[in-house]
Amino acid sequence: MKVLVLYDYPPPPGGLATQGEHLRRGLQEIGVEVKACHLESSFEKRWHYKWFKPDVVIGVGYWGHTPHIVLHPLQYDQKPVPWLVADGVVLNYQNILNELPLILVTSNWVKERFVRDGIKEEKIDILPVGTDTKRFIPYEKDDPRVKAVRESLKIENDEIMILTIGGDAASKGAREVMEALALLDSHLPKWKYVLKVWPQPRTKEQTRMDLELAETLGIKNKIVISDDRISRDFMPFLLSACDIYAGPSRIEGFGMVQVEAGACGKPVIGIKAMGLLDTMIDGETGYLAKIGQEIKVERLVVGEEHGFPTGTVFEFDPPKVIDYKADVEEIARYLNLLISDEKLRKKMGEAGNKRAVELFDYRVVAKQFVDILRKRGFVTE
């Protein structure tokens, strides 16, 4: 079997690129002949079609990438299989996607969103995102690489470090976490909350607003924000440096960092919704706070990036849920439990590591991918 994987290749450290790279590596390591190409590189894709002659072309992205990962392969008589994440609402390409024999999505919740928005349920199979559980492992606090992370962030040995990682912090639920910490502050031992965000224009403005909130809440001196670029090599040590990973995301089709935190032996606070219902076990690998608020939209303005003329308006009746906010009081309750109980943190971290290794290792995911292709008749060997 020959597989061509289309994603942001060579991979930067972002989520979609990592998703594609882990599938490529997993397929290669289980003996599948596999090549990779940037999803937007028309010339290089055509080159692979001609000489490599793949049996299947899998494209990693969201529905808006359909022209690159579905229409382009179809134009050259290839067999595309999109592996899609959620983007709030599917606005376009339903007819094209419904003509395909197979669509992969990252969780049951993503499948529900696609079915809600017009994609045929029988077309969809679920393939989780793979994690490198040989690199994402629990490192001890006295490991010099872990110690150096905490020292660089000015986290003292006796301080509990809570961590959130994202393109921006608010989308990962950090504002709800800050509100929860403010409720608890006078009752907690020493703590610091680290927000690791990505350097980009929209993040700068969001970070400014997040710091304003922290100041209003009276906890700004306990918030540490890092907006440096980091590599995937650094991530296991950053995660190992924390005591609790806080990820009650507002939108989360899978929860890759939450799974990686579990693989590193850290308890996770998430939200009882979306992809985290697949990746976490509430009360075992961490805690899932109930939904505090559903964010609904009645109207969206879209443009060329979604396959429409600029300024195209969509109106929804009834309004569509596009993301969520976790309940602040529940986040506070779970933070209090984890901060005050080191044995509980260790127990949940061990459970998270076990679950990551058994279900989400990238080689396990690659084998699952091959099984799906066989079941769907793409390959017979």
Residue ranges, CATH 3.40.50.11930, the chain: 2-127
pTM: 0.95
pLDDT score of 88: 81
**72 class by beta-carbon count within 10 Å (0-12 exposed, 13-18 middle, 19+ buried):** buried
Rounded to whole angstroms, the maximal C-alpha distance in the chain is 66
Strand partners, 34: 3
How far, in Å, are 177, 277, 291 from residue 128 at the CA level? 26, 12, 23
| CA–CA dist 253, 60 (Å, integer) | 13
Q: What's residue 381's pLDDT?
A: 62
Amino acid 158 reads: D
Q: What residues does CATH 3.40.50.2000 cover in the chain?
A: 144-290+328-360
Given 3.20.20.70, 1.25.40.10, 3.40.50.11930, 3.30.750.24, which CATH number is that of 2-127?
3.40.50.11930
Query: CB of 264 within 8 A of CB of 95?
Result: no
What pLDDT score does 200 carry?
85
Is the peptide bond preceding residue 318 cis, with omega within 30 degrees of 0?
yes
**Could you list the mean pLDDT of each consecutive 10-residue stretch along the chain, which spans 381 residues?**
97 94 98 98 98 98 96 98 91 96 97 96 98 97 97 96 96 97 90 94 90 96 95 97 98 96 98 97 98 94 89 92 95 97 98 98 98 90 62
Q: What is the 3-state secondary structure (H, E, C) of 156-203?
A: CCCCEEEEEECCCCHHHCHHHHHHHHHHHHHHCCCEEEEEECCCCHHH
Q: What is the pLDDT of residue 51?
A: 98
CA dist., res. 129 & res. 106, Å (int) = 6
Amino acid at 6: L
Radius of gyration of the chain (CA): 21
Q: Residue 128 carries which DSSP code?
A: P
Placement of tokens 């879209």 in the chain: 302
The CATH number fitting domain 144-290+328-360, selected from 3.30.1490.190, 3.40.50.150, 3.40.50.2000, 3.30.70.2700: 3.40.50.2000
The tens digit of pLDDT for each residue in 225-275 reads 999 999 999 999 999 999 999 999 999 999 999 999 999 999 999 999 999
